[in-house]
Every structure is written in structure tokens, then in C-alpha cells.
Amino acid sequence: MAQNLMMTCRLNKANDNSIYNISHKRIYKPIELELQTSGGFKVVKNSFQHQDDQQNFDQRQKYPLNSKNIFDGGFLSEDQEFQNLHKTRKEMNESKRQIDQIIQQHNHLGLLNVILFNCKQQIDGQYNTIYNGNRIKIMICITMYSEKLSELEKSLNGIGKNIDYFLEIGIAPHQIAVTVIFDGIINVCNIPGAYRDNIIPYFQSEIDKKYGIDSQKTLTYQYNMYSEQWKRFQDYKPENIKYLRAHPDELLKKYKKHREALKKTMIRLKGPQYNFVEQDEYIEQNIVDAMEDQYYRAKTYLENRKNTSWVYQDALHHKSSEGTLPIFYTFKFTNGSKLSSHMWFFKGFCQEIQPDYCVLMDVGANPEKDAIFQLIMSMEENPKLGGVCGTMRVQIEEDDKDDVDLDIVTNILVNKVFSIQKCQSCEYDIAHLLDKQAESALDFIHVLPGAFSAYRYNAFFNNYHDNQNNANTSNQHVQVNQNDKEKILDKYLRQVLDQNYEHQTLQEANMFLAEDRVLCKLLYCNGYYLRYIPNSFVYVDPCPSLKLLILQRRRWINGSWHALSYISDNYDQDLRTSKHSWWDKQKFIFSITQAKIQQLMIYFMESFQVLWLYMIMYAIVDTGDLGLNNFIISTVIAFYVFLIFMIIYLSINYDPALIRQLETPEKQKAEVDYYFSRLFFVSTCLGFISLGTVVYTVYLLITEIFFNYGFNDIVEKPQVPQSYYLVLVVVSIGAIVLPILSSIFQLPQNIFNAALTMIPYFYYQPTYMHLFVVYSFCRIDDLSWGTKGLTNAGSSSVNSDKAFQKFKFLLTWLVLNTIFTAVLLILFQIQIYLLPQGLILFISVILTILTIVKGFLALWYRVKFCFIDRNMKLYIKDKSRHKTLKDQQENFNRIKTALKQQIQSNQNIYTQHNENNFDDPLKNSYIRASIFTAYLEHYFKQK
């Protein structure tokens, strides 16, 4: 199957005499698009006047993004067009390269315009047939920042492996489109010496060469020009100019460094009549004027590109169907965020193209051969599904590598013995075996991960029950309700839609670090279900180091915490108007309540840990001297609390924004190492204590319950606490094991992998409970992404009001945990009869109930999914009936050849189409894929 797929840029090398390449040069030409405030795109035409000696700078014009019909034929021939162009060249004495530029400046904009025509529903029957057979049904978004080219290729190859499955059910490759959105053009991977993984050299040597893209339209030019203007904007700011004027030596040094560009600017500013001599360039005022001019030009250049992207049009070529899967490499000039990239996807591409389904992926995510297909088919089969996710598995490709200078013990444990990547692998497997299945049993997934999930595009706009009134069948395309337009997306994209938007509270700011949780609530309250599809597998990259993992989990914990708080406080009105049944509303409320209880347990996690340690020490220490016993216990508890406060102290004082102000990278790294090495050392100490507590607790359970206290004693002495402990332990183990074992046939890899990676997972549990939670709460003012080098927002960027909010949040957390811990310890000290056992029993009952509920729901969904999977297979089988023509290879090739000959004769084969004829070849996705490619190349060869 993989051999059926290749990127068109890896086809034959460019040849000036090849008509095939001339047509491709027109189909896949780069364009600049501007995202409109109301959604959709405009095309930007640029004069490319960026030289320092040019009077007119960066002149631009904007045009509507129009559609192009390629199916009618009969356009101007290639020979006639070139004759006209050669006449132009003779008259204007222009070179061949200039002629090629004139071709590229032609009215059409290539593949995107053709797709837009296919996606506009027409009243006329002939064009409606084109719409039904060629419109984009699935849009896939891959978000990138500075990742390597190999990560992108991995994701594109995974998408390509799904094409055959879609062809079997009638969806041709050109009905699936991929948008790869790079968040900031100057952030793309361009590491010196790493040619294989760099983005820009790849585009330069492969795509530019293949499609004949040169001069200002290349990614290289756009990257270099934007980088240069950005640097000028930073270097020549008014405050920097003021400093340079006060230090003439620095001003002259700066001028000599950029002499060539500044001299051209001086000459232009003086005008052609001025007799510029060498002495003029060293006059202070001339230097300052040139710098200020470059600053304002750079500011204009950057402002012009605040909402624009440089878009490369490309495709995946599927050999067996001769189909073309469109790809749009979208290089946003301005660095925003992942949410900003989603805005470009939803408000830009999706609003223009109006697909049925949207798929969100992180670059590096590698879907299995039918992973995307399974997600889409689940929504095709069940019109009430608004969003779905699959099973994410960790793909470990390299050893753990932490760039922090750790102490010798932590370094051995973290980098040599217990793999942090294997820990994450086990964590992901358990989460899907238990959590995701339990949530899906309630038809509400709290978080559809942005790394790999799919949505029904219509669900963002229309309530499910309204859709049912507008569509007779589940697979009929329903137009967006313009009256409720952007109702959900406006809330989801609120902070990026309004560029001047400022969060009112830290809770709101952190909430948008987990915006997918808010989006899930909005979709559910719009009448849709959210579901987990276990047999849709995707492999994702884990965090390779403990440092990156703590930064990632800081974002996850704070984002999820505040998003859940917002949802639990504000879901009433949305749920009442959701048109869900009473039972569905109760399931949602139960799901939120269960999540709030778990949130409460996390909030008081440190108190529970101190209490647990106290009880274990109380059981261990027995010197015969009560005073000595209390001294030992108090010392251990005090040391434990001291370590927790050490984490709090280090976490509060670590500020990436302040560290970046240090003079050299070496000093910055040394400061970062100082904090993280001590954080990890303290965490290791806490981990040893916690692991010792766990080991001794297990020992006590085994000895007290299974040896000193038998099963028969449950009946004979039911009032003894041990009898309840035995029941709770057995029931909890059963609630966890049963749903896991029930998945052994569906998810065997997850089960076996979880078993193999269980030891690292258990080792890092104290780190998860202590370091991650405490660090996250102390860094509530850090609103950066955390990973991929995105650590730009530190506490220094927070105003005084939000600094007070952080102080209030932290103080409340510390005071409540302190009071809760003190009350429990005092109750233990006064030794009220059975009070310690009662408290332990109470906490154990709560945890057991949560475990039982989660286990039962996971087991129920495992059984339920067997029927869901069977219905999906029947649905897919029914959708695949049209493939019989493909199985008759000789007849299939004959029909395809005949249709291509009609296209070459400038005929519109859709005029001969009969929608009522079941055997009509245009109903076959393989035929439609082939003739669309033929139309595409024929049109751009002719026009």
C-alpha cells in the first residue's frame, strides 16, 4: 500500500520542455493568503519591492479568492499562450525568467481555486453532480512549530496509508485535503549542518526545483526577508536609537556592521538630485535617519503580514487510482500559538471549503493504516457523534536525554534505570484502557486530544436535532446555519480572534491552555456525543526528558484544572438548551461530578501524602519510649514537609522571562540547570520516601489481611476494619483488572506494553504526585506552551493584579492543605476509638467507589463497542458495494481510458452523467480520482 503513494515533488525532476511540468508549475504555484476577521481568505498580490534603494516599498493589493471551473474545457491552448508571451518578450526585451513570472502572475491561483469550485453547491444538475463527486469531505490539519522534516514526513505517510480505505467506500483522494500550518515562518526548522531534517533546504531542492518556483516566490526568499525585517525592527527601535545616539562609538560600530544596506537607504533619502559623497555617510544624523527609515519600513512590512501566510500548494500522488490528495503548506508569518493555527484551519480553510469532517493532528503523529478512516466512519455511521478520538500509543525511538546537569543519583535513576519515555507509554496505555473507555460509556470525552482527533464540522454550528430536521439521511451534506455562525468556534478561538483580547483572570488565561476541554463541553451541549474509538491507532512522540515532561504537565494540569472549574461553574445554561434527553444530561452531570471529586483529591494530594506517611511511621516506629517515638515520627514528617516547601520555593523563584535577560546562553543554561537539578534532586528524595511508604503499605496489607486475618473472619467479625479493607482491596483490584482483561482481544498491544513498562510507571508516580502538581500550582502565571522551545511567557509578563491572583491562589492552597493536615494529625494524636481506622476506611471507600465506577463504565463500553464495531463494519461493507467495477480490471481500464480521451477533446463528461444509473462509472471513486487528475493537468496545460 505504501508503494501506491508518493509526494508529487518527488516525481520526475523539472524540465523546461515538459508540458507536464508546465501544467504542474501552474497548479502548484505559491500564493499569499490573508485571513479575514469574519473568516475566509483574500489573495495578496505583492510587488516584491523590498530593496533599500527602491522608493516604493512593499506595495500590495488584495483580491477575493475566486473559484475556477476546470470541467468545461475549450480554453486557450498552450501554444497560443506562449506565442503571445514570446511576442511580449520581443516587445519588452524580457528574459525567459520574466516570462515565467508573467505565467505565475496569471489570473488563476492553482489547485486551491479548483477545490473551491468543487465545494460550491450549484442548483444546476450538471454542476451539482460535480459537487457531489468532487467536493472536499475531509480536511486534515497538521500543526507545526520548529519540528524536523522527518516528523512531517512521518505524519504525511500515515495519512497516505489511509487513502486506499477511503477509496473503497467512495471517497477519492482529491476529496481529502491536508493543511500543514507552520506557526511562524522564522521558527521553522533550519539548523545549520542538519540538511536532512531542515524544512527550507527541502523546499528549495525539491519543491522549488520541481515546480520551477524561483526568486521572490520561494520559501527561502520569504524566510530571509522576514528574518531581516524582523531583525531591523528589533535593532532600530526608538529606545535603541536613543541609546546609540548617546554612545557615538556604538552607533558607528553598528553602522559599519550594516554599512551596505544603510548607505543605500541614505542615498535614497537624499534623493537623486543630491550629490552624495563618502563623508556624508559618517554624519551622525544621516546614520540615524537611515536607521529610523529602516525601522518604519520593517514595521510596515511586519504589520502587512500580521494576518497572512505564504502558502505552498502541493499534493500526494496515489499510484493505483492516479488520484491527487491536495496539501497546503501554510507558513504563517507571525508566530501565534497552536490555537492560532487552529484559527487558520477552521476560520480560513474550513470556512472556504466547508468539509464534512475535520481531523486535527500534531506533527509527528503517525496514524496506522486505517486510523483516520476509523474515526471518520464512526461519525458517518452515527450522525449524533460530534467528535471522536483514537488510541494514542507512545513511539519510543531514542534513549532518554535530559540536558540538565543532574546529581549522580538522579542521573542514574532517570537516564539509566527508569526510562521516562516508558513511563509515559504505560501512562497512555492505562489511560486508554480505563479512563477513555469509562468516559466514552457516558458519551462525553472530557478532552479530545489535539494530537489526534476528528470532528463533524457541522457540529460547530448547528444543533444535532436541527440537523436531523434539515437532512433526510445521515450522510447528506448539511450547509452551515448562517444565523448561528461561529457560535462554538468564536468561544473556542476567542483569545486569538481578537488580537487585543486580554484575559481578565489567571483562571481564564490558564483555561485556554486546555481549550480542547472547553471545546468538548461546547460540542456536547450542542446536542452531540463524543466518543473514543479503540481500533483507531496513532503513534505519538513522548517527551524525551524529565525537564520537558514537567513543562508539558504544568500546562496540562493548570489548563485542565481551570477549564474544569470553568465548565463545572458554567454548564447549566448550555446543558439546558442542548436538546439532549434527560438521561444524557444526567450522564453529563455525573461525569463532571466524578471529575470534580478527582480534582479535589489532587488539590489535597500533599495532605493525603503527609497523612499516609504519618500512619506508616506510626506503625513502624516502636522503640518502647513514647517520647522517642514521637520525636522520630515528627522528624521524618518535618523533613518530608521541608522537601515539599523546597519544591514550592524553587518553583516560585524559577522565571524563564528573567533568565532570558541574562547576557549569554551559557549563563542562561547555568541558571536553568540550577533550578531543575535541585527540583529533581528534591523530587528524588520525596520519591524514595513515597516508594518506601507504598512498599510497607503493601507489606501490611499482605500480612494483616491475607495472613493474620482470613476470609472466614469477614463473616465472623464483620465489625473489624480489616474485613472492610479486604473487601475494598479485592473489589478495587477486580474493578481495574476486569476491564483491562476484557480488552485483550481489541487492544492486546496496550495490555502487554503496560505490563512491560509498569516498573518505570510506578517509580515516577511520586514525581507525578509531588513535583508535577506543586510545580504547576506555583507556576500558574506561566502561560507558555512549555515544550518545543515555547517558554516565552513568564511571570514577569503578568501585571500586578494577576500577580495578586497568583498569590491568592497559592496562599489558599497552602492554608487549606495545612489546616486539613493539622486537623487529621490532631485527631490521630488524641486517639479517639477507631477514629484512625475510620478515616482510613472513609478515604478508602471513596477511592474504591471511584475505581469501581470507572472500571464498570470501562467494562460496559468494551461490551458496547463490540456492537458499535459490528455496525460500523456492516456500514462500511454497504458503502463498498460500488467497488465492483474496480475488480473488473480490464473493463475498468477501458472506461478510464475512454473518459481521458474525452477530456483531451475538451469535453465535459459530466454532461453525460446519469445520477439514476447505478453502473455509472462516475460513481466509482477510482474513476473520479483518475479523471479529476486528468482534468486538472489538461486545464492548466491548456489555459
Residue at grid coordinates 499516609:
612
Query: Residue 836's pLDDT is what?
Result: 61
Q: Where are the alpha helices (DSSP H) in 73-148?
A: 78-92, 96-104, 111-118, 125-134
At 424-465, the pLDDT tens digits run: 998 998 888 888 999 999 999 999 998 999 999 999 988 776
Residue-level pLDDT at 400: 59
What are the backbone angles phi and psi of residue 75, rounded to the nearest 5°? -95, 175
Question: Per mean pLDDT, which range of 7-16, 219-228, 543-552 is the poorest?
Answer: 7-16
- Per-residue pLDDT band for 511 (boundaries 50, 70, 90) equals confident
Residue whose C-alpha is closest to residue 456's, from 555, 515, 375, 543 = 375
pLDDT confidence of residue 830: 72
Q: How confident is the model at residue 816 (pLDDT cuts 50, 70, 90)?
A: very high
Residue 834 has pLDDT above 70, yes or no: no
Taking only the tens place, the pLDDT of each residue in 21-54 is: 556 777 888 999 999 988 899 999 887 878 877 8
Give 669-703 pLDDT, tens digit per residue: 888 888 888 888 888 888 888 888 888 877 877 77
Judged against a pLDDT cut of 50, whether residue 840 lies above it is answered with yes
HSE-CB of 184 using CA atoms within 13 angstroms: 18
| Residue 415 backbone dihedrals phi, psi, to 5 degrees | -95, -15
Residue 480: the pLDDT is 54
pLDDT tens-place string over residues 571-601: 888 888 888 899 999 999 999 999 998 888 8
pLDDT(322) > 90:
no
Domain positions in the chain are: 237-303, 598-830, 883-942
Mean pLDDT lowest among 286-295, 649-658, 742-751 = 742-751
User: Which residues, 6+ apart, have CB-to-CB distance to 15 below 8 Å?
Assistant: 21
Name residues whose C-beta falls within 8 Å of residue 755's C-beta, 6 or more positions apart in sequence. Answer: none
If one compares 644 and 904, the residue with the highest pLDDT of the two is 644
Give the percent of the chain with pLDDT over 90.
26
Q: Which pLDDT value is given to residue 724?
A: 62
pLDDT at residue 395 greater than cutoff 50: yes
Q: Give the residue from 650, 681, 655, 653 showing the smallest Cα distance to 668.
A: 655
How confident is the model at residue 592, as a pLDDT?
92
Q: pLDDT confidence of 886, banded at 50, 70, 90?
A: low
Compute the distance between CA of residue 389 and CA of residue 383 in angstroms, rounded to an integer: 16
The arithmetic mean of pLDDT across residues 472-489, rounded, is: 54
Minimal CA–CA distance to 16: which of 8, 28, 25?
25
Over 60: is that where the pLDDT of 90 sits?
A: no
Arithmetic mean of pLDDT, 257-273 = 85
Q: 212-226, 282-296, 901-915 — which is least confidently predicted?
A: 901-915
Residue 360: per-residue pLDDT: 95
Cell numbers linked to 538: 496513532
Question: 297: part of which helix (H) or strand (E)?
Answer: helix 284-304
Q: What confidence score (pLDDT) does residue 78 get?
A: 45
Identify the pLDDT of residue 317.
Answer: 86
Q: What is the pLDDT of residues 893-928, one digit of tens each?
A: 777 777 777 777 777 676 665 554 545 667 788 888
The answer, yes or no, to whether residue 868 has pLDDT greater than 80, is: yes
Give the residue carrying C-alpha cell 437532512. Answer: 471
pLDDT of residue 89: 41
Predicted confidence at residue 102, as pLDDT, reads: 42
pLDDT given for residue 800 in this prediction = 63
In degrees to the nearest 10, what's the CA dihedral of 759, 760, 761, 766?
Answer: 110
Per-residue pLDDT tens digits for 335-379:
888 889 999 999 999 999 999 999 999 999 999 989 999 999 999
Mean of all residue pLDDT scores within the chain:
80
825 compared with 524, residue with greater pLDDT: 524
The DSSP-derived string for 557-612 is HHHHHHHHHHHHHHHHHHHHTS---HHHHHHHHHHHHHHHHHHHHHHTHHHHHHHH
Q: How far apart are CA 672 and CA 660, in angstroms?
A: 10
Average pLDDT over residues 824-836: 69
In this prediction, residues 70-82 reach a mean pLDDT of: 53
Average of pLDDT values for 295-313? 93
> What gap in Å lies between CA 513 and CA 509, rounded to an integer?
7
Confidence (pLDDT) at 301: 92
**What mean pLDDT is predicted for residues 316-328?**
87
89: cell is 518578450
Closest CA to 535 of 430, 445, 383, 432: 432
Provide φ and ψ at 45, rounded to 5°: -100, 130
Q: Per DSSP, what are the bridge partners of residue 312?
A: 329
Taking residues 837-851, report their average pLDDT.
Answer: 75
Distance of CA 229 to the CA centre of its chain: 29
